[in-house]
Chains A and B, each alone.
Chain A
Amino acid sequence: MTATVLHALGDPWTEPLVRRAFEEVALLALACGALGCWVLHYNLSYAAESLAHGLLPGLVLASLAGIPLLAGGAAGILLAAAGVALAGRVSGLGRDTAVAVVVTALLGLGVLLALAPATPAGLSGLLFGDPLGVSDADLVLAAGLVVVLFAALGLLHGRLLVVGFDRTGARGMGVSPARVDLALLALLATALLVAVQGLGNLLVVAMLIAPAAAARHVTRRMPAMLVAGAVIALVAGLGGLYLSYYAQVAAGASIAGMLVAAVAMISAAAAIRRRLVRTRLVKTRLVRTPDRPGTSRAA
Protein backbone atom coordinates (compact mmCIF):
# COMPACT_ATOMS: atom_id res chain seq x y z
CA MET A 1 0.00 0.00 0.00
CA THR A 2 2.69 2.46 1.10
CA ALA A 3 4.80 1.39 -1.83
CA THR A 4 1.91 2.08 -4.22
CA VAL A 5 1.39 5.55 -2.82
CA LEU A 6 5.10 6.30 -2.98
CA HIS A 7 5.20 5.03 -6.52
CA ALA A 8 2.19 7.19 -7.45
CA LEU A 9 3.85 10.23 -5.87
CA GLY A 10 7.21 9.53 -7.47
CA ASP A 11 5.99 8.58 -10.92
CA PRO A 12 5.54 12.08 -12.37
CA TRP A 13 9.07 13.02 -11.35
CA THR A 14 10.56 10.43 -13.71
CA GLU A 15 9.51 12.38 -16.80
CA PRO A 16 11.80 15.41 -17.31
CA LEU A 17 8.98 17.59 -18.68
CA VAL A 18 6.74 16.91 -15.72
CA ARG A 19 9.60 17.10 -13.24
CA ARG A 20 10.44 20.60 -14.44
CA ALA A 21 6.79 21.58 -14.00
CA PHE A 22 6.89 20.34 -10.39
CA GLU A 23 10.12 22.20 -9.70
CA GLU A 24 8.84 25.43 -11.26
CA VAL A 25 5.54 25.35 -9.37
CA ALA A 26 7.34 24.49 -6.12
CA LEU A 27 9.74 27.44 -6.44
CA LEU A 28 7.02 29.92 -7.41
CA ALA A 29 4.72 28.63 -4.66
CA LEU A 30 7.40 29.24 -2.02
CA ALA A 31 7.95 32.79 -3.29
CA CYS A 32 4.28 33.73 -3.77
CA GLY A 33 3.11 32.03 -0.56
CA ALA A 34 5.50 34.01 1.62
CA LEU A 35 5.25 37.34 -0.23
CA GLY A 36 1.44 37.08 -0.28
CA CYS A 37 1.36 37.40 3.55
CA TRP A 38 2.84 40.90 3.32
CA VAL A 39 0.66 41.74 0.30
CA LEU A 40 -2.38 40.83 2.40
CA HIS A 41 -1.31 42.84 5.44
CA TYR A 42 -0.44 45.88 3.34
CA ASN A 43 -3.85 45.71 1.59
CA LEU A 44 -2.10 45.28 -1.73
CA SER A 45 -4.27 42.43 -3.04
CA TYR A 46 -5.95 44.73 -5.53
CA ALA A 47 -2.63 46.26 -6.56
CA ALA A 48 -1.22 42.76 -7.13
CA GLU A 49 -4.15 41.84 -9.36
CA SER A 50 -3.84 45.13 -11.24
CA LEU A 51 -0.12 44.65 -11.88
CA ALA A 52 -0.61 41.05 -13.00
CA HIS A 53 -3.37 41.96 -15.45
CA GLY A 54 -1.70 45.16 -16.56
CA LEU A 55 1.39 43.37 -17.80
CA LEU A 56 -0.59 41.06 -20.16
CA PRO A 57 -0.39 43.27 -23.29
CA GLY A 58 3.36 43.52 -22.77
CA LEU A 59 3.64 39.74 -22.57
CA VAL A 60 1.53 39.21 -25.70
CA LEU A 61 3.39 41.86 -27.68
CA ALA A 62 6.69 40.30 -26.59
CA SER A 63 5.57 36.87 -27.75
CA LEU A 64 4.39 38.42 -31.06
CA ALA A 65 7.70 40.19 -31.58
CA GLY A 66 9.72 37.22 -30.46
CA ILE A 67 11.55 39.13 -27.70
CA PRO A 68 11.93 37.68 -24.18
CA LEU A 69 8.65 37.62 -22.25
CA LEU A 70 10.47 39.08 -19.24
CA ALA A 71 11.24 42.29 -21.17
CA GLY A 72 7.67 42.51 -22.45
CA GLY A 73 6.22 41.98 -19.00
CA ALA A 74 8.50 44.61 -17.47
CA ALA A 75 7.44 47.12 -20.15
CA GLY A 76 3.82 46.13 -19.50
CA ILE A 77 4.14 46.83 -15.76
CA LEU A 78 5.68 50.26 -16.43
CA LEU A 79 2.91 51.05 -18.93
CA ALA A 80 0.24 49.96 -16.45
CA ALA A 81 1.79 52.06 -13.69
CA ALA A 82 1.92 55.13 -15.96
CA GLY A 83 -1.67 54.53 -17.08
CA VAL A 84 -2.90 54.25 -13.52
CA ALA A 85 -1.02 57.41 -12.52
CA LEU A 86 -2.48 59.36 -15.44
CA ALA A 87 -6.05 58.05 -15.04
CA GLY A 88 -5.88 58.87 -11.34
CA ARG A 89 -5.53 62.55 -12.27
CA VAL A 90 -8.77 62.64 -14.27
CA SER A 91 -11.08 64.67 -12.06
CA GLY A 92 -14.33 63.04 -11.01
CA LEU A 93 -12.88 59.56 -11.44
CA GLY A 94 -12.08 57.88 -8.10
CA ARG A 95 -8.68 56.25 -7.68
CA ASP A 96 -10.03 52.71 -7.51
CA THR A 97 -12.19 53.34 -10.57
CA ALA A 98 -9.21 54.73 -12.46
CA VAL A 99 -7.17 51.62 -11.66
CA ALA A 100 -10.06 49.35 -12.66
CA VAL A 101 -10.57 51.17 -15.98
CA VAL A 102 -6.87 51.05 -16.91
CA VAL A 103 -6.41 47.43 -15.85
CA THR A 104 -9.53 46.19 -17.60
CA ALA A 105 -8.53 48.09 -20.74
CA LEU A 106 -5.03 46.55 -20.65
CA LEU A 107 -6.37 43.04 -20.01
CA GLY A 108 -8.84 43.46 -22.89
CA LEU A 109 -6.11 44.80 -25.17
CA GLY A 110 -3.92 41.85 -24.25
CA VAL A 111 -6.65 39.32 -25.05
CA LEU A 112 -7.49 41.11 -28.30
CA LEU A 113 -3.85 41.02 -29.39
CA ALA A 114 -3.57 37.39 -28.42
CA LEU A 115 -6.62 36.43 -30.49
CA ALA A 116 -5.20 38.12 -33.60
CA PRO A 117 -4.51 35.59 -36.37
CA ALA A 118 -0.80 36.43 -36.41
CA THR A 119 -0.32 35.49 -32.76
CA PRO A 120 1.28 32.13 -32.17
CA ALA A 121 -0.78 29.75 -30.09
CA GLY A 122 -0.18 30.15 -26.38
CA LEU A 123 -2.58 32.73 -25.03
CA SER A 124 -3.99 30.17 -22.65
CA GLY A 125 -0.43 29.70 -21.43
CA LEU A 126 -0.12 33.40 -20.67
CA LEU A 127 -3.50 33.52 -18.95
CA PHE A 128 -3.58 30.21 -17.10
CA GLY A 129 0.07 29.30 -17.07
CA ASP A 130 1.84 26.46 -18.80
CA PRO A 131 4.03 24.74 -16.24
CA LEU A 132 4.72 21.93 -18.74
CA GLY A 133 6.33 24.42 -21.12
CA VAL A 134 8.95 25.48 -18.57
CA SER A 135 12.54 25.71 -19.78
CA ASP A 136 15.72 25.30 -17.75
CA ALA A 137 16.25 29.06 -17.99
CA ASP A 138 12.81 29.60 -16.43
CA LEU A 139 13.80 27.31 -13.56
CA VAL A 140 17.02 29.23 -12.94
CA LEU A 141 15.03 32.49 -12.97
CA ALA A 142 12.50 31.11 -10.48
CA ALA A 143 15.27 29.85 -8.19
CA GLY A 144 16.88 33.28 -8.40
CA LEU A 145 13.59 34.89 -7.46
CA VAL A 146 13.27 32.68 -4.37
CA VAL A 147 16.81 33.52 -3.21
CA VAL A 148 16.46 37.28 -3.79
CA LEU A 149 12.96 37.47 -2.35
CA PHE A 150 13.76 35.54 0.83
CA ALA A 151 16.91 37.56 1.40
CA ALA A 152 15.00 40.82 0.91
CA LEU A 153 12.12 39.74 3.15
CA GLY A 154 14.64 38.75 5.82
CA LEU A 155 16.43 42.10 5.68
CA LEU A 156 13.22 44.14 5.52
CA HIS A 157 11.33 42.12 8.13
CA GLY A 158 11.60 44.60 11.00
CA ARG A 159 10.75 47.61 8.83
CA LEU A 160 7.85 45.83 7.16
CA LEU A 161 6.48 45.05 10.63
CA VAL A 162 6.91 48.65 11.84
CA VAL A 163 5.12 50.21 8.86
CA GLY A 164 2.45 47.51 8.57
CA PHE A 165 1.62 47.79 12.25
CA ASP A 166 1.76 51.56 12.68
CA ARG A 167 2.16 53.60 9.51
CA THR A 168 1.71 56.97 11.23
CA GLY A 169 4.22 56.27 13.97
CA ALA A 170 6.85 54.75 11.65
CA ARG A 171 8.55 58.05 10.82
CA GLY A 172 8.99 58.75 14.52
CA MET A 173 10.79 55.40 14.78
CA GLY A 174 13.20 56.33 12.00
CA VAL A 175 11.50 54.16 9.36
CA SER A 176 10.23 55.72 6.13
CA PRO A 177 6.84 54.27 5.12
CA ALA A 178 7.31 55.46 1.52
CA ARG A 179 10.58 53.57 1.15
CA VAL A 180 9.18 50.41 2.70
CA ASP A 181 6.12 50.61 0.40
CA LEU A 182 8.36 51.09 -2.59
CA ALA A 183 10.55 48.14 -1.63
CA LEU A 184 7.52 45.89 -1.16
CA LEU A 185 5.98 46.98 -4.48
CA ALA A 186 9.30 46.38 -6.25
CA LEU A 187 9.42 42.86 -4.77
CA LEU A 188 5.81 42.30 -5.80
CA ALA A 189 6.44 43.48 -9.37
CA THR A 190 9.56 41.29 -9.63
CA ALA A 191 7.74 38.25 -8.28
CA LEU A 192 4.79 38.79 -10.64
CA LEU A 193 7.10 39.21 -13.60
CA VAL A 194 8.85 35.90 -12.92
CA ALA A 195 5.83 33.94 -11.68
CA VAL A 196 3.44 35.01 -14.44
CA GLN A 197 5.43 32.96 -16.95
CA GLY A 198 4.99 29.70 -15.10
CA LEU A 199 1.64 30.29 -13.42
CA GLY A 200 -0.11 32.57 -15.89
CA ASN A 201 -1.74 35.94 -15.54
CA LEU A 202 -4.81 34.84 -13.61
CA LEU A 203 -3.38 32.03 -11.47
CA VAL A 204 -0.48 34.07 -10.11
CA VAL A 205 -2.91 36.26 -8.16
CA ALA A 206 -4.54 33.18 -6.64
CA MET A 207 -1.09 31.88 -5.65
CA LEU A 208 -0.30 35.20 -3.90
CA ILE A 209 -3.57 35.75 -2.06
CA ALA A 210 -5.09 32.35 -1.26
CA PRO A 211 -2.26 30.79 0.79
CA ALA A 212 -1.84 34.00 2.81
CA ALA A 213 -5.59 34.16 3.48
CA ALA A 214 -5.47 30.57 4.75
CA ALA A 215 -2.26 31.09 6.75
CA ARG A 216 -3.91 33.96 8.59
CA HIS A 217 -6.29 31.47 10.21
CA VAL A 218 -3.64 29.12 11.57
CA THR A 219 -0.91 31.46 12.85
CA ARG A 220 -0.61 34.36 15.24
CA ARG A 221 2.89 35.69 14.44
CA MET A 222 4.28 37.04 11.22
CA PRO A 223 7.29 34.66 10.85
CA ALA A 224 5.01 31.66 11.39
CA MET A 225 2.53 33.10 8.91
CA LEU A 226 5.22 33.48 6.24
CA VAL A 227 6.22 29.82 6.71
CA ALA A 228 2.59 28.66 6.73
CA GLY A 229 1.81 30.67 3.59
CA ALA A 230 4.75 29.14 1.74
CA VAL A 231 3.88 25.60 2.90
CA ILE A 232 0.19 25.93 1.99
CA ALA A 233 1.11 27.28 -1.45
CA LEU A 234 3.61 24.45 -1.93
CA VAL A 235 1.14 21.72 -0.92
CA ALA A 236 -1.71 23.17 -3.02
CA GLY A 237 0.58 23.76 -6.00
CA LEU A 238 2.07 20.24 -6.00
CA GLY A 239 -1.34 18.73 -5.15
CA GLY A 240 -2.79 20.49 -8.16
CA LEU A 241 -0.07 19.13 -10.40
CA TYR A 242 -0.64 15.55 -9.18
CA LEU A 243 -4.37 16.04 -9.78
CA SER A 244 -3.60 17.31 -13.25
CA TYR A 245 -1.23 14.41 -13.94
CA TYR A 246 -3.57 11.63 -12.86
CA ALA A 247 -6.98 13.15 -13.76
CA GLN A 248 -5.72 14.55 -17.08
CA VAL A 249 -7.07 18.06 -16.39
CA ALA A 250 -5.42 21.43 -17.05
CA ALA A 251 -2.55 22.11 -14.64
CA GLY A 252 -3.41 25.76 -13.97
CA ALA A 253 -7.04 25.01 -13.22
CA SER A 254 -6.10 22.11 -10.90
CA ILE A 255 -3.71 24.31 -8.92
CA ALA A 256 -6.31 27.08 -8.65
CA GLY A 257 -8.87 24.51 -7.50
CA MET A 258 -6.51 23.14 -4.83
CA LEU A 259 -5.75 26.68 -3.59
CA VAL A 260 -9.44 27.48 -3.20
CA ALA A 261 -10.02 24.11 -1.51
CA ALA A 262 -7.14 24.84 0.91
CA VAL A 263 -8.62 28.21 1.88
CA ALA A 264 -12.11 26.74 2.32
CA MET A 265 -10.90 23.80 4.41
CA ILE A 266 -8.59 25.83 6.64
CA SER A 267 -11.20 28.56 7.19
CA ALA A 268 -13.82 25.96 8.08
CA ALA A 269 -11.42 24.14 10.43
CA ALA A 270 -10.54 27.43 12.13
CA ALA A 271 -14.23 28.29 12.58
CA ILE A 272 -14.98 24.85 14.06
CA ARG A 273 -12.02 25.11 16.40
CA ARG A 274 -13.15 28.53 17.65
CA ARG A 275 -16.58 27.03 18.34
CA LEU A 276 -15.14 24.07 20.23
CA VAL A 277 -12.93 26.28 22.38
CA ARG A 278 -15.91 28.47 23.15
CA THR A 279 -18.07 25.47 24.09
CA ARG A 280 -15.36 24.15 26.39
CA LEU A 281 -15.09 27.54 28.11
CA VAL A 282 -18.84 27.59 28.62
CA LYS A 283 -18.79 24.06 30.08
CA THR A 284 -16.09 24.97 32.57
CA ARG A 285 -18.09 28.12 33.42
CA LEU A 286 -15.32 30.46 32.33
CA VAL A 287 -17.87 32.15 30.11
CA ARG A 288 -21.46 32.11 31.24
CA THR A 289 -23.39 32.84 28.09
CA PRO A 290 -21.92 31.73 24.78
CA ASP A 291 -23.45 34.43 22.61
CA ARG A 292 -23.28 37.50 24.82
CA PRO A 293 -19.97 37.47 26.68
CA GLY A 294 -20.34 41.12 27.67
CA THR A 295 -23.28 40.33 29.93
CA SER A 296 -21.54 37.70 32.05
CA ARG A 297 -20.71 39.62 35.18
CA ALA A 298 -22.49 42.95 34.98
CA ALA A 299 -25.89 41.20 35.15
Chain B
Amino acid sequence: MPDPGPIAVAGPPELLRVAGLSAGYGGRPVLRDVSFRLAGGRRLGILGPNGGGKTTLFRVLLGELEPLAGSVACARSAIVAQTERSRLDFPVSALDVALMGTVGQLPWFRRPGRAERVAALEALRAVGLAEQADVSFGELSGGQRQRVLVARALVQDAPVVLLDEPFTGLDAPSAEQLEALIARLAQEGRTLLIATHELGQVRRWDLVLCLNERQIAFGAPDDVLTRDVLEATYGAAIVELPGAGGAILPAHHHHHHHEHPA
Protein backbone atom coordinates (compact mmCIF):
# COMPACT_ATOMS: atom_id res chain seq x y z
CA MET B 1 0.00 0.00 0.00
CA PRO B 2 1.43 3.44 -0.81
CA ASP B 3 2.40 5.31 2.32
CA PRO B 4 0.89 8.78 2.50
CA GLY B 5 3.23 9.79 5.31
CA PRO B 6 3.18 9.52 9.07
CA ILE B 7 -0.15 9.51 10.84
CA ALA B 8 -0.64 12.72 12.84
CA VAL B 9 -0.90 12.27 16.60
CA ALA B 10 -3.10 14.82 18.35
CA GLY B 11 -5.84 14.17 20.87
CA PRO B 12 -7.05 10.61 20.37
CA PRO B 13 -4.62 9.13 17.84
CA GLU B 14 -5.75 8.98 14.25
CA LEU B 15 -6.02 5.33 13.26
CA LEU B 16 -7.30 5.61 9.73
CA ARG B 17 -6.94 8.11 6.92
CA VAL B 18 -8.41 7.60 3.45
CA ALA B 19 -7.82 10.28 0.79
CA GLY B 20 -9.28 10.33 -2.72
CA LEU B 21 -9.57 6.55 -2.79
CA SER B 22 -10.68 4.70 -5.92
CA ALA B 23 -10.73 0.90 -5.88
CA GLY B 24 -12.02 -1.89 -8.04
CA TYR B 25 -11.30 -5.11 -9.84
CA GLY B 26 -9.72 -5.53 -13.26
CA GLY B 27 -8.94 -1.83 -13.54
CA ARG B 28 -12.55 -0.65 -13.35
CA PRO B 29 -13.38 1.27 -10.17
CA VAL B 30 -16.45 0.08 -8.29
CA LEU B 31 -15.83 2.69 -5.60
CA ARG B 32 -14.64 6.30 -6.17
CA ASP B 33 -13.85 9.54 -4.31
CA VAL B 34 -13.69 8.18 -0.78
CA SER B 35 -12.03 10.49 1.77
CA PHE B 36 -12.42 10.35 5.53
CA ARG B 37 -10.40 10.22 8.76
CA LEU B 38 -11.04 8.32 11.95
CA ALA B 39 -9.51 8.70 15.40
CA GLY B 40 -9.42 5.92 17.99
CA GLY B 41 -12.53 5.09 20.00
CA ARG B 42 -15.03 5.81 17.21
CA ARG B 43 -17.87 3.69 15.87
CA LEU B 44 -18.46 4.29 12.16
CA GLY B 45 -21.60 2.91 10.55
CA ILE B 46 -21.23 2.25 6.82
CA LEU B 47 -24.45 2.37 4.83
CA GLY B 48 -24.95 1.48 1.22
CA PRO B 49 -26.74 -0.91 -1.11
CA ASN B 50 -25.31 -4.34 -1.83
CA GLY B 51 -22.65 -3.78 -4.47
CA GLY B 52 -22.26 -0.19 -3.28
CA GLY B 53 -18.61 -0.66 -2.35
CA LYS B 54 -18.65 -1.61 1.36
CA THR B 55 -16.85 -4.91 0.82
CA THR B 56 -14.39 -3.27 -1.58
CA LEU B 57 -13.53 -0.62 1.02
CA PHE B 58 -12.98 -3.35 3.64
CA ARG B 59 -10.69 -5.26 1.29
CA VAL B 60 -8.59 -2.14 0.72
CA LEU B 61 -8.35 -1.46 4.46
CA LEU B 62 -7.26 -5.08 5.06
CA GLY B 63 -4.53 -4.72 2.45
CA GLU B 64 -6.06 -7.35 0.18
CA LEU B 65 -6.75 -4.92 -2.63
CA GLU B 66 -4.46 -2.16 -3.92
CA PRO B 67 -6.17 1.21 -4.45
CA LEU B 68 -6.49 2.30 -8.09
CA ALA B 69 -6.01 5.89 -6.98
CA GLY B 70 -5.69 7.87 -3.77
CA SER B 71 -4.06 6.79 -0.54
CA VAL B 72 -4.88 4.83 2.56
CA ALA B 73 -3.11 4.87 5.91
CA CYS B 74 -4.60 2.34 8.28
CA ALA B 75 -3.42 0.98 11.60
CA ARG B 76 -3.47 -2.80 11.86
CA SER B 77 -6.97 -3.99 11.00
CA ALA B 78 -8.89 -7.19 11.53
CA ILE B 79 -12.21 -8.25 10.05
CA VAL B 80 -15.22 -9.89 11.65
CA ALA B 81 -16.72 -11.53 8.59
CA GLN B 82 -20.21 -12.91 8.20
CA THR B 83 -20.35 -16.52 9.41
CA GLU B 84 -21.34 -18.40 6.32
CA ARG B 85 -23.05 -21.75 6.34
CA SER B 86 -20.13 -23.48 4.63
CA ARG B 87 -17.81 -22.98 7.60
CA LEU B 88 -20.15 -24.48 10.13
CA ASP B 89 -19.01 -28.04 9.46
CA PHE B 90 -15.35 -27.13 9.85
CA PRO B 91 -14.04 -29.17 12.80
CA VAL B 92 -12.89 -26.37 15.14
CA SER B 93 -13.87 -25.17 18.63
CA ALA B 94 -14.49 -21.57 19.66
CA LEU B 95 -11.01 -21.61 21.22
CA ASP B 96 -9.46 -22.91 17.98
CA VAL B 97 -11.01 -19.99 16.09
CA ALA B 98 -9.81 -17.42 18.63
CA LEU B 99 -6.32 -18.99 18.46
CA MET B 100 -6.27 -18.41 14.70
CA GLY B 101 -5.70 -14.74 15.51
CA THR B 102 -2.22 -15.63 16.80
CA VAL B 103 -1.03 -17.66 13.80
CA GLY B 104 -0.04 -14.77 11.55
CA GLN B 105 1.97 -13.13 14.35
CA LEU B 106 4.12 -16.19 15.00
CA PRO B 107 7.13 -17.17 12.88
CA TRP B 108 6.21 -19.91 10.42
CA PHE B 109 7.95 -22.68 12.36
CA ARG B 110 6.24 -21.94 15.68
CA ARG B 111 2.89 -23.38 16.68
CA PRO B 112 0.62 -21.53 19.13
CA GLY B 113 1.72 -22.44 22.66
CA ARG B 114 0.65 -21.76 26.22
CA ALA B 115 0.91 -17.96 26.04
CA GLU B 116 -1.21 -17.90 22.89
CA ARG B 117 -3.86 -20.16 24.45
CA VAL B 118 -4.06 -17.87 27.49
CA ALA B 119 -4.51 -14.84 25.21
CA ALA B 120 -7.22 -16.62 23.20
CA LEU B 121 -9.10 -17.66 26.37
CA GLU B 122 -8.78 -14.10 27.68
CA ALA B 123 -10.33 -12.79 24.45
CA LEU B 124 -13.19 -15.30 24.69
CA ARG B 125 -13.79 -14.14 28.27
CA ALA B 126 -13.86 -10.53 27.05
CA VAL B 127 -16.68 -11.35 24.63
CA GLY B 128 -18.54 -13.38 27.29
CA LEU B 129 -17.85 -16.81 25.84
CA ALA B 130 -15.30 -18.29 28.28
CA GLU B 131 -17.76 -21.08 29.08
CA GLN B 132 -18.14 -22.01 25.41
CA ALA B 133 -14.41 -22.27 24.62
CA ASP B 134 -14.61 -25.99 23.87
CA VAL B 135 -17.91 -25.91 21.95
CA SER B 136 -17.74 -26.53 18.21
CA PHE B 137 -18.01 -23.30 16.22
CA GLY B 138 -20.88 -24.70 14.14
CA GLU B 139 -22.93 -25.50 17.26
CA LEU B 140 -22.86 -21.93 18.59
CA SER B 141 -25.74 -19.54 17.93
CA GLY B 142 -25.35 -16.86 15.27
CA GLY B 143 -24.66 -14.18 17.87
CA GLN B 144 -22.11 -16.32 19.68
CA ARG B 145 -20.34 -17.06 16.38
CA GLN B 146 -20.07 -13.31 15.69
CA ARG B 147 -18.59 -12.78 19.13
CA VAL B 148 -16.06 -15.60 18.60
CA LEU B 149 -14.90 -13.76 15.47
CA VAL B 150 -14.66 -10.55 17.52
CA ALA B 151 -12.51 -12.50 20.00
CA ARG B 152 -10.29 -13.58 17.11
CA ALA B 153 -9.89 -9.91 16.13
CA LEU B 154 -9.00 -9.07 19.77
CA VAL B 155 -6.32 -11.78 19.74
CA GLN B 156 -4.91 -10.17 16.60
CA ASP B 157 -4.70 -7.05 18.77
CA ALA B 158 -5.90 -4.90 15.90
CA PRO B 159 -6.75 -1.27 16.74
CA VAL B 160 -9.11 -1.12 13.73
CA VAL B 161 -11.89 -3.71 13.61
CA LEU B 162 -14.10 -4.11 10.54
CA LEU B 163 -17.50 -5.77 11.02
CA ASP B 164 -19.35 -6.94 7.91
CA GLU B 165 -23.11 -6.82 8.60
CA PRO B 166 -22.63 -8.45 12.01
CA PHE B 167 -26.27 -8.08 13.03
CA THR B 168 -27.71 -10.03 10.12
CA GLY B 169 -29.78 -12.94 11.40
CA LEU B 170 -29.31 -12.18 15.12
CA ASP B 171 -32.23 -12.24 17.55
CA ALA B 172 -32.83 -9.20 19.77
CA PRO B 173 -30.86 -10.34 22.88
CA SER B 174 -27.86 -11.39 20.76
CA ALA B 175 -27.94 -8.08 18.89
CA GLU B 176 -27.99 -6.19 22.21
CA GLN B 177 -24.99 -8.17 23.50
CA LEU B 178 -23.05 -7.47 20.32
CA GLU B 179 -23.97 -3.79 20.43
CA ALA B 180 -22.72 -3.57 24.04
CA LEU B 181 -19.50 -5.33 23.06
CA ILE B 182 -18.95 -2.87 20.20
CA ALA B 183 -19.47 0.05 22.61
CA ARG B 184 -16.95 -1.44 25.06
CA LEU B 185 -14.32 -1.96 22.35
CA ALA B 186 -14.73 1.67 21.30
CA GLN B 187 -14.28 2.78 24.92
CA GLU B 188 -10.99 0.85 24.99
CA GLY B 189 -9.78 3.09 22.17
CA ARG B 190 -10.36 0.84 19.18
CA THR B 191 -12.05 2.13 16.09
CA LEU B 192 -14.85 0.03 14.64
CA LEU B 193 -16.19 0.19 11.09
CA ILE B 194 -19.56 -1.55 10.89
CA ALA B 195 -21.26 -2.27 7.57
CA THR B 196 -24.98 -2.44 8.23
CA HIS B 197 -28.46 -1.79 6.90
CA GLU B 198 -29.88 -0.79 10.29
CA LEU B 199 -30.43 2.96 10.29
CA GLY B 200 -31.63 2.92 13.88
CA GLN B 201 -28.28 1.60 15.11
CA VAL B 202 -26.24 3.94 12.96
CA ARG B 203 -27.99 6.90 14.65
CA ARG B 204 -26.63 5.72 18.03
CA TRP B 205 -23.04 5.53 16.76
CA ASP B 206 -20.50 8.34 16.40
CA LEU B 207 -20.13 8.66 12.65
CA VAL B 208 -21.68 7.44 9.45
CA LEU B 209 -20.29 6.88 5.94
CA CYS B 210 -22.73 6.50 3.03
CA LEU B 211 -21.44 4.69 -0.05
CA ASN B 212 -23.05 4.07 -3.42
CA GLU B 213 -20.21 3.47 -5.87
CA ARG B 214 -18.81 6.72 -4.50
CA GLN B 215 -18.82 8.52 -1.17
CA ILE B 216 -22.24 10.14 -0.74
CA ALA B 217 -21.67 11.56 2.73
CA PHE B 218 -19.53 11.30 5.86
CA GLY B 219 -20.16 12.86 9.25
CA ALA B 220 -22.19 12.70 12.45
CA PRO B 221 -25.46 10.74 11.97
CA ASP B 222 -27.67 13.74 12.83
CA ASP B 223 -26.03 15.89 10.15
CA VAL B 224 -25.70 13.20 7.50
CA LEU B 225 -28.82 11.05 7.59
CA THR B 226 -31.17 13.26 5.62
CA ARG B 227 -33.72 12.08 3.12
CA ASP B 228 -31.62 13.42 0.23
CA VAL B 229 -28.51 11.54 1.34
CA LEU B 230 -30.42 8.30 1.85
CA GLU B 231 -32.03 8.57 -1.56
CA ALA B 232 -28.63 9.14 -3.14
CA THR B 233 -27.27 6.20 -1.17
CA TYR B 234 -29.98 3.69 -1.94
CA GLY B 235 -31.29 5.15 -5.20
CA ALA B 236 -34.87 6.39 -5.06
CA ALA B 237 -36.09 3.14 -3.57
CA ILE B 238 -36.86 4.39 -0.07
CA VAL B 239 -39.96 3.67 1.95
CA GLU B 240 -41.08 5.73 4.89
CA LEU B 241 -42.46 3.81 7.84
CA PRO B 242 -45.27 5.94 9.24
CA GLY B 243 -45.40 4.19 12.64
CA ALA B 244 -41.66 4.25 13.26
CA GLY B 245 -41.14 7.89 14.14
CA GLY B 246 -40.05 8.91 10.67
CA ALA B 247 -37.52 6.09 10.32
CA ILE B 248 -36.76 5.35 6.72
CA LEU B 249 -35.54 2.09 5.36
CA PRO B 250 -34.22 1.12 1.98
CA ALA B 251 -37.11 -0.59 0.17
CA HIS B 252 -35.20 -3.60 -1.02
CA HIS B 253 -33.89 -4.41 2.44
CA HIS B 254 -36.69 -3.76 4.86
CA HIS B 255 -38.28 -7.16 4.32
CA HIS B 256 -35.16 -8.88 5.70
CA HIS B 257 -35.42 -7.25 9.03
CA HIS B 258 -37.95 -8.96 11.19
CA GLU B 259 -37.81 -12.55 10.11
CA HIS B 260 -38.66 -14.47 13.23
CA PRO B 261 -39.47 -18.14 12.86
CA ALA B 262 -43.17 -18.82 13.30
| Chain A interfacial positions (CB closer than 8 Å to B) | 41, 154-155, 157-159, 161-162, 164-166, 168-169, 171-175, 216, 219-222, 224-225, 294, 298
Q: Decide if B136 touches A298 in the complex (CB within 8 Å).
A: no
8 A Cβ contacts from B103-117 to A: 103-106, 108-109, 111-112
User: Given the complex of chains A and B, what is the CA–CA distance between A173 and B149 in angstroms?
Assistant: 12
User: Given the complex of chains A and B, what is the CA–CA distance between A298 and B152 in angstroms?
Assistant: 34
List the B side residues contacting A155 at CB < 8 Å: 108-109, 111
Q: Decide if B101 touches A173 in the complex (CB within 8 Å).
A: yes
List the B side residues contacting A225 at CB < 8 Å: 91
The segment out of B28-36, B46-54, B73-81, B183-191 that lies at the interface is B73-81
User: Given the complex of chains A and B, what is the CA–CA distance between A253 and B11 in angstroms?
Assistant: 74
Given contacts A172-B64, A172-B79, contact A221 B91 (CB under 8 A): yes
Q: Decide if B64 touches A166 in the complex (CB within 8 Å).
A: no
Q: Decide if A173 touches B91 in the complex (CB within 8 Å).
A: no
A169: contacting residue among B81, B93, B109, B111, CB under 8 A: B81
24 contacting pairs across A/B (C-beta < 8 A): A155-B108, A158-B103, A158-B106, A158-B111, A161-B103, A164-B90, A165-B87, A168-B79, A168-B81, A169-B81, A172-B64, A172-B156, A173-B100, A173-B103, A174-B103, A174-B104, A175-B103, A216-B91, A219-B91, A221-B91, A221-B93, A221-B96, A222-B91, A222-B96
| Chain B interfacial positions (CB closer than 8 Å to A) | 62-64, 77-79, 81, 87, 90-93, 96-97, 99-106, 108-109, 111-112, 136-137, 152, 156, 261-262
Given contacts A169-B81, A171-B63, A222-B92, contact A161 B261 (CB under 8 A): no
Q: Decide if A166 touches B96 in the complex (CB within 8 Å).
A: no
List the B side residues contacting A154 at CB < 8 Å: 111
A161: contacting residue among B63, B81, B100, B136, CB under 8 A: B100
Shortest CB-to-CB span from B143 to chain A, Å, is 17
User: Given the complex of chains A and B, what is the CA–CA distance between A222 and B92 in angstroms?
Assistant: 7
Q: Decide if A165 touches B92 in the complex (CB within 8 Å).
A: yes
Name, among B62, B77, B78, B104, the residue most crowded by chain A CB atoms within 10 Å (CB to CB): B104
> Chain A residue with minimal CB distance to B262?
A298
Name, among A41, A164, A169, the residue most crowded by chain B CB atoms within 10 Å (CB to CB): A169
Shortest CB-to-CB span from A175 to chain B, Å, is 5
Q: Decide if A175 touches B81 in the complex (CB within 8 Å).
A: no
B100: contacting residue among A166, A220, A294, A298, CB under 8 A: A166
List the A side residues contacting B136 at CB < 8 Å: 220
**Tally of contacts, chain A with chain B, CB under 8 A:** 76
> Chain A residue with minimal CB distance to B109?
A155
Q: Decide if B104 touches A173 in the complex (CB within 8 Å).
A: yes
Q: Decide if B100 touches A165 in the complex (CB within 8 Å).
A: yes
Q: Decide if A175 touches B104 in the complex (CB within 8 Å).
A: yes
Name, among B96, B99, B105, the residue most crowded by chain A CB atoms within 10 Å (CB to CB): B96
Name, among A41, A216, A220, the residue most crowded by chain B CB atoms within 10 Å (CB to CB): A220
B62: contacting residue among A161, A172, A221, A222, CB under 8 A: A172
User: Given the complex of chains A and B, what is the CA–CA distance between A174 and B262 in angstroms?
Assistant: 43
Q: Decide if B109 touches A298 in the complex (CB within 8 Å).
A: no
Q: Decide if B90 touches A41 in the complex (CB within 8 Å).
A: yes
> Chain B residue with minimal CB distance to A222?
B91
List the B side residues contacting A171 at CB < 8 Å: 62-64
List the B side residues contacting A168 at CB < 8 Å: 79, 81
> Chain B residue with minimal CB distance to A171?
B64
Given contacts A164-B90, A171-B62, A220-B91, contact A158 B261 (CB under 8 A): no
Shortest CB-to-CB span from A36 to chain B, Å, is 14
User: Given the complex of chains A and B, what is the CA–CA distance between A166 and B77 in angstroms?
Assistant: 16
> Chain B residue with minimal CB distance to A174?
B104
Shortest CB-to-CB span from A77 to chain B, Å, is 26
Q: Decide if B92 touches A166 in the complex (CB within 8 Å).
A: no
User: Given the complex of chains A and B, what is the CA–CA distance between A157 and B92 in angstroms?
Assistant: 12
